[in-house]
Structure 1
Amino acid sequence: MARIVVVGSINMDLVTTVRRRPEPGETMSGEGFALVPGGKGSNQAIAARRAGAEVTFVGAVGDDVFAEELRRVLHDAGVRVSRLRRVDGPSGVAAIVVDGNGENSIIVVGGANSRMTELDDADLEAIAAADVLLCQLEIPVPTVVAAARHARANGTAVVLNPSPVQELPAELWAEVDIAVVNEGEAAQLGSALDAVPHVITTLGADGAIYRGPDGITLPQPGVRVNVVDTTAAGDTFTGALAAHWHEGPEIALAWASTAGALATTKLGASASIPTRSEIERLLSR
C-alpha cells in the first residue's frame, strides 16, 4: 500500500444541472442543485484512498457552515485529517454548472485554501515519511514549492497536477517527478514540461498517453462508459495514478483511466469517485 500525502485544496461544490449552459446575460431555469464536497486536493486524496493507498491530507477549511462537512467527508473516506487545519473566514467554494451532455463550467473561490501559506513541522514530517507527494495549484504556489522541495530532499516522489494552469517557477519544475495534465494544459505549458521525467497527458474519452524520461511514449486506451458528469474525472485519474505509481507506469495508467472513466458515471465530485472493488471489477473485463 502506497503512502501518499496530498497538499492541496478542499471546497464545497455548489452544483447546478441545466439542459445547456447559459449565454452571457441570460437567465434560465435549472433542473437540479446539490451541495457536494470537492476541491482538487480533496478529490485526489479520496480517489487515492479508494484506489488502495494510505492517504494523509494537508489543507485548510474555514470557520463557516461548510467546514465540518468537508472534514467529515475526508474522514469517512478513510483519509487522515490530522493535518487539516481550521482558519478564520470562509471555506473554499466552487460554483459548477453541468449541462445535459455532462460537460461543466467551474468558478472556484479559494477561501481557506488561499490561507495555506506555510507548512509546519508536522506537515513536513508527513511529507518526508510518504512514498508520494501529490499537489495541485488551488493553494498558493510558494506552499507547493516548499512541499515539493522537502519531498525531493527526503526521497518522496513528487506528482504535480498543474491545474488551474499558470506560469510556474523553474524551481518547482525542478522538483517534479511526474506531471499529470490534460490536452489544454499540455498545450499551454509547452516546453516547461520537458524538464519533468514522467508526463501523463489525459485525453478525455480517448484515454491518456505517457511520456517517460527516455522519450518513449505509452498510449492508454479510453474506457467507454455512459457519461453523466465529468467534474471529478481528472482528479480521480490523478489520485488513482498516484496510488499505483509504485507498480509501474503501465499498471498505474490502467488503474487511472478506469477510475477516471467510472467517475463520469455519477453526479458530483467526491460522490462519484469509485472504490477499489469497482475499479478492479471493470479492469477485469
Structure 2
Amino acid sequence: MNGRLVLAGNVIADLVIEVPALPERGSDVIGTRTETTAGGGFNTLVAARRLGTEAVFAGLHGTGPYGDLVRDALAAEDIGTLLPVRTDGDTGFTVALIDSGGERTFVTSFGVEATLTPSDIDTLAAELRPGDLLQLSGYGLVLSANGPLLSGFTAGLPSDITVCLDPAPLVADIPEAVLAPVLARVDWLSVNAREARLMSGHEDPRAAVTALRDRLSPGAGVLVRADKDGCWLAAPGQAPTHVPGFPVDAVDSNGAGDAHVGSFLALIGQGHDPVTAARGANAAAAYAVARRGPATAPDRAALAAFLGQDPLAQRLFGADPH
C-alpha cells in the first residue's frame, strides 16, 4: 500500500513573528524576526511528500497575494491541487507569534477556505482513490460552512480510504454534531497533550489515549503527541504504549505537530506498522523543531542521517534512504 495523502483542510499564509515573550494585554513588543510563508496544512503535506508519499491539497485557495504564495509553495514541493482557484477572494492567513522558548501562539483570519460548497465536496469525492489517506483538521470542522459538509462527507467514506483527524487547538469549539460522525469514522486520531486533555478530561497521557480510543470505532487508533517525550500510541487491538522521542534543542515548534501527522501517515501508507511509523514521526518532529521555519520536516536522506545508527533507520529505509 502506498496511497496519496489528501488534505481536506486549509493551506493558508503564516505571518511568523519571533518575540522575546508574548505582550501583556494592551501593550506592545518588538519582534526579532519576521517571515511570511505557506502554513496550516501545508506542513502536513510537505512532511509526507518529503518522505516519498504523493500529496494533494484538496482545499480552497483564492485570488490574491496569499493565494499566489500558497500555490507557489505547493508547486515548489511537488504537491498538486485538487480544487480550482476561487476568484471571489483571497486565501486567509495566520499571525504566528514564536516566543523565546520556541512555543507558538496563533491568531487566524480565514479567507475563501472558509466557504466550502456542496459542489466542492462532490469534486473531492469524485477524485478520491482506493488506498488514499485523507487528512482532516479541526480548523475545517469548526467553520460554520465547512464543518457540516466535511462531517457528512467523512461519515460516508468507504473503508478503503484511511481517515485521520488532527482536531487542532480549536477542538473545544467544534460542534458535537459535527465532531461525533467524524470520530465514528476515523482510522486515526492524532492530538497534542492539550487537545487530549480537552477531549478526554485526563491530564495523564496514558489515561487520555485510552479514553480517546474508547470514543472511536473498535478498529481505530489514537496518538497523543508529547513533544520531546515522543507520543503515546493506542494502536487498534493493542494496549496503549509509550513511543520514545528524540530530545533536541527546540528553536521553533511551529508546524511540529503537522510534521508528526504527515510523517506518520506517510509511513503508515508505505506499509510500516504503527509503532515504527510513530517512532519515525517522533524523529521527523524532533528534526523539525530544531530548525527555524514552519515547513522544516526532513526528507528521507535527512531523516536517515538524523537517526544515524539507530535501528529505526534500517527498518524505515533499508540500505537506501533515497
- Show the counterpart of 2:302: 278
SS at 2:301 equivalent: helix
| 2:182 counterpart of 1:172 | yes
1:158 aligns with one of 147, 157, 163: 163
Q: Deviations over 1:71-105 (max 9, x none)?
A: 11111111112435424123110001111111111
User: Once structures 1 and 2 are overlaid, which stretch shifts more, 231-240 or 241-250?
Assistant: 241-250
Give unmatched runs, 5+ long, in structure 1.
none
Cα distance in 1 for partners of 2:73, 2:230 equals 29
Aligned partners of 1:91 and 1:113 also within 8 Å: yes
| Partner secondary structure for residue 298 of structure 2 | coil
**Equivalent position of 1:264 in the other structure:** 289
- Given that 2:63 and 2:85 are in contact with CA atoms closer than 8 Å, whether structure 1 keeps it comes out as no
Contact 2:37–2:69 (8 Å) recurs in 1: no
Paired residue type of 1:50: R
SS of 1:21's equivalent in the other structure is coil
Gaps of 5+ in 2: 141-145, 201-210, 310-322
Structure 1 residue identity aligned to 2:148: P
Q: Secondary structure at the match of 2:23?
A: coil
Query: Counterparts of 1:58-97 in structure 2 under 5 Å?
Result: 58-83=58-83, 85-97=85-97
Q: Does 1:228 align with 2:251?
A: yes
Offset, 1:130? 3.9
Contact map agreement 1:2 1:244 (CA 8 A) in 2: no
Shift of 1:193: 4.6
Give 1:105's aligned amino acid: T
**In structure 1, what is the Cα distance between the partners aligned to 2:255 and 2:121?**
29
Alpha-carbon distance between aligned partners in 1 of 2:151 and 2:121, rounded to the nearest angstrom: 14
Q: Is the 8 A contact 1:124 1:150 kept in 2?
A: no
What's the % identity of the aligned pairs?
27
CA contact (8 A) 1:5 1:126 kept: no
| 1:218 alignment partner in structure 2 | 241
CA distance in 1, matches of 2:121, 2:181: 21
Identify the residue that residue 314 of structure 2 maps to in structure 1: none
> Relative to total residues, which structure has the larger strand share, 1 or 2?
1
User: Equivalents in 1 of 2:293, 2:96: separation in Å?
Assistant: 9
Indicate the SS of the match to 1:60: coil
Q: TM-score, normalization: structure 1?
A: 0.92
Q: 2 CA distance for matches of 1:201 and 1:241?
A: 12
Please show how residues 86-235 of structure 1 align to structure 2 within 5 Å: 86-118=86-118, 119-139=120-140, 140-151=146-157, 153=158, 155-163=160-168, 164-166=170-172, 167=174, 168-169=176-177, 170-190=180-200, 191=211, 193-196=213-216, 197-235=220-258
